[in-house]
Chain A
């Protein structure tokens, strides 16, 4: 199993640009999550999904969108990027209360 994979690893965006962060897991987990980690802080939940076709907002959803068309994939879309979205983004999946995190995507918006 590759576990949870994320692409890209790094990205620099200009203000107002859009992009999609990809996340894929091969463990057949129903639950998937997107978190952001700001410098010196813990993780904050952006969106989560309990299965294909079902998504819901977390603590900090503004400026983001997600979709879950398959069990494996859970992309995070940034529309009109802002400097406040500069962060490290982690995708995760879970089963039986065990979380598996991807390696993260470092995003800088300038």
Chain B
């Protein structure tokens, strides 16, 4: 079974600075998706960024980028120019590309605080 680990329960960053959230995963599959979701106090789960495992190029979305190391099974999220609105729980998630529905695995989350 796949597992997702986020070793940092809490992180903090100064406004306008850069922070990196770590995520590692375990799988025997070669084709899959990885995601970072943001959950603000409103509890809505918001997709931040998505990476397809067969793509070597790291995904980027504005101030958010990932460092995807497939061999190391590592998928970290970098937030540049942090803003107060970035404060939230961040979940790393894995999904099998071929096994629909069943294998969507979330990590335990990292709570990010942004200091003014």
Contact = CB atoms under 8 A, between A and B. Distances in A.
Nearest to B108: A42
Interface centre among B37, B45, B91, B107 (most CB of A within 10 A): B45
A33 B46 CA distance: 16
A45 interface: yes
A45 B100 contact: no
A40 B9 CA distance: 9
Nearest to A99: B47
B25 interface: no
A50 B100 contact: yes
A104 interface: yes
Given A31-B101, A43-B93, 17 more contacts: A40-B9, A40-B108, A41-B108, A41-B109, A42-B4, A42-B105, A45-B104, A48-B101, A58-B101, A90-B45, A92-B45, A97-B33, A97-B50, A97-B52, A98-B50, A99-B47, A99-B104
A88 B106 CA distance: 15
Contacts of A92: 45
Interface residues of A, number: 24
Given A58-B102, A97-B33, A103 B109 contact: no
Interface string B33-52: 10101000011111100101
Contact of A45 (B43, B97, B102): B102
Given A31-B100, A97-B95, A42 B44 contact: no
A56 B45 contact: no
Interface in A12-44: 31, 33, 35, 40-44
Given A103-B42, A103-B44, A40 B109 contact: yes
Contact of B44 (A44, A101, A106): A101
